[in-house]
Amino acid sequence: MNDAIVQIDGLDKSYGNHVALQNLELEIEKGEVFGLLGPNGSGKTTLFQTMMGQLTPTSGDIQVLGQDAYKDTFDVSKGVGFLPADIRFYDNLTARKNLEYLAELVDEDPDIEELLELVNLQEEADKKVSGFSHGMQKRLGIAQTLIKEPDLILFDEPTTGLDPERKEDFKDLIQRINKEKDITVIVASHILHEIENLCDRIGVLKDGKIQVTGTPEDIMDEADAETLEEAYLEITRGDFR
Amino acid sequence: MKALTVAKKEVADHMNSNTFLIVFGLMLLLTGATAFQGAQSFQDQMDRFQESQNSDNERIGGFAPDKPSILDAFTMLTQGVNFPLIGGLLALLLSYNTVSGERDRNTLKLLTSYPLHRDSIISGKFIAGIFTLTVASAAAFMVASAIIIGMTGAAVTGAAAARILLMLGGTVLYMSCIYGLGTLLSTVFDDSSTALTGGVLALVISALVVPQMAFMISDVLVEDNEETDITVGEGSSGLSESYEKRMNIRNTVTKVFPTGSYGNFMQYMMGQDPSSIGISTGGSEEAESEPSVMESLNSSLGNLGLLAGEAILFFGASFVIFTRREIS
């Protein structure tokens, strides 16, 4: 029995003449922390939005939690938490009210205090989000991904806008929710340092295609490089393959 | 029901928004001022009527003044800039960013990542809009009624009260139609400013340009070869044939647009016939027999149907586009 929580076969996505994803193949297993690494515009956000059913695939098959991500969007979204890269909340509501509203939409009764504490926002809980910095909105965004008690969380550029200390906190948080709550995590980033030492496996995306997947060691071997950074540069800038 | 959860939040957002408070405040101010004028006009007409009664049915300018109805005091409210334009503007300002605002604020991706059918989102927003506009319209009608009744001391009969309630219903339907138009534009256009510009343009065309165009079209199509618009004699309705033809063309053109349908509906509710507006037929038999509430309602069904149909069409189109469109 295949233990894949995400199974993508031959996925294509185009916007007019622009090809965002082409013949993308990817399999992610339950319990993994998977890093999706690629430069800006390589298709990471498009892939996440297609997995959430927000974008329609041009062709190919995309299964998330055993369901068709496009046809069964409602069921897929029940089990998947999503942090969009450009996340914003309702400015006129407080952090707590935003979380309560989202929880009410899904008939969940999460421990809001615990979620706020998890991202160190308990002191700002009753302040309106309009006064929040980008980093604070990101942290609140991370908290909202847990409202649904998901099996899978997609983090799109989660550490952008966070200060270095918070970035480390975020890495700890990912590992905690992966180990303690048994949640599969996919982290998309264009910055290698932010996902190395965090992910079990990494997939490098370039021009809408997964170039290589594997553990950091596998990737270094494939690119014939001494370090992961060197391998990443070789894959994304050079004539890899 | 998720739509109600969305609606509850949207109502709170509407009621607390500066835009709503400013335009609603303006509408109440205008309503108060217009009701004041309407009450004064009613009082003047009543004085003239009583004067003519006291002076042994003296005819002023050849016609005996009719006994004014308390509904006449509402004429300016429903035909002027108040409900047709400011009310329409309020509906538009509440709706132009219904979907595009979520897109502008980057909250749409978050919202649609939750297990929530998109039809619940759009229906919730529509319910919230109609509720808010109903509250605003009811408040405006209450203010107007209080001023008119307070100033004139006139007794409101059951029929007049029924007509006022129907006018309120028509106003809510008209505003819902404009709200639907705003929602549709906010669904079609990616940014709120384009949606607002399109909505204001549509409202101005519907409220100001189309009536003028209708006059021009009717004057071009029907040759005015009679000396006067009023005819006298046995079997005459009091209006010339060419005048009736022109008015029919004007009504047909204007009622295709929401503001025209609304204007016609309101005239029927005030016991008037939109095709004879502007002309008093004085002593003719038709003018003396005011239609019952049911007769007025029956006559206005076409306009009411058009308003309801347009509201459903706008909402239906928004619904279909929103549920099928990609979230980017």
Among B109, B112, B120, B328, pick the best mutation site for testing chain A contact (most A Cβ within 10 A).
B109
In this prediction, residue B62 carries a pLDDT of 56
Domain with CATH 3.40.50.300 in chain A: 17-79+150-241
A3 Cβ contact list (under 8 Å, min separation 6) = A29, A30
Interface contact A54-B117, CB threshold 8 A: no
The Cβ-side half-sphere exposure at A86, using a 13 Å CA radius, reads 11
In this prediction, residue A11 carries a pLDDT of 95
Among B15, B16, B110, B118, pick the best mutation site for testing chain A contact (most A Cβ within 10 A).
B110
Q: Assess A75–B contact: CB distance below 8 Å, yes or no.
A: yes
In this predicted model, what pLDDT tens digit does every residue of A128-184 receive, in sequence order?
999 999 889 999 999 999 999 999 999 999 988 788 888 888 888 889 889 988 999
B49 Cβ contact list (under 8 Å, min separation 6) = B65, B66, B67, B68
Among A90, A98, A137, A154, pick the best mutation site for testing chain B contact (most B Cβ within 10 A).
A90
In this predicted model, what pLDDT tens digit does every residue of B23-52 receive, in sequence order?
899 989 999 999 999 899 888 888 888 888
pLDDT confidence bin for B282, thresholds 50/70/90 = very low
In this prediction, residue B289 carries a pLDDT of 66
Give strand pairing partners of A24.
Answer: A11
In this prediction, residue A129 carries a pLDDT of 95
From chain B, pick out residues whose CB is under 8 angstroms from the CB of A55. 326-328
Query: Counting one residue from A and one from B, how many pairs have CB atoms under 8 Å apart?
Result: 68
Please tell me the distance from the alpha carbon of residue A198 to that of residue A221, in angstroms, as a whole number.
Answer: 19
Distance from CA of A223 to the nearest CA of B (A): 34
Mean pLDDT over residues B284-303, rounded?
A: 76
Interface contact B109-A87, CB threshold 8 A: yes
Q: Would you mind telling me the total number of residues written for chain B in this entry? A: 328
In this predicted model, what pLDDT tens digit does every residue of A63-86 receive, in sequence order?
999 999 999 999 999 999 999 998
In this predicted model, what pLDDT tens digit does every residue of A28-43 receive, in sequence order?
999 999 999 999 889 9
Does the pLDDT at position B68 exceed 90?
Answer: no
Across chain B, what does the average pLDDT equal? Answer: 85
pLDDT confidence bin for B135, thresholds 50/70/90 = very high
| Other C-beta atoms lying within 10 Å of the C-beta of residue B51 | 12
Nearest CA in chain A to B4: A105
Domain spans, chain B: 2-324
Q: Assess A54–B contact: CB distance below 8 Å, yes or no.
A: yes
* CATH class name, domain A17-79+150-241: alpha beta
What A10-13 contacts at long range (C-beta under 8 Å, 24+ apart), as own/partner pairs, is: A10/A59, A10/A60, A10/A61, A11/A47, A11/A50, A11/A57, A11/A59, A11/A60, A11/A61, A11/A62, A12/A57, A12/A58, A12/A59, A12/A60, A13/A43, A13/A46, A13/A50, A13/A55, A13/A57, A13/A58, A13/A208
In this prediction, residue B196 carries a pLDDT of 94
Q: Assess B18–A contact: CB distance below 8 Å, yes or no.
A: no
What pTM does this model have?
0.86
Does the pLDDT at position B241 exceed 80?
Answer: no
Interface contact B106-A84, CB threshold 8 A: yes
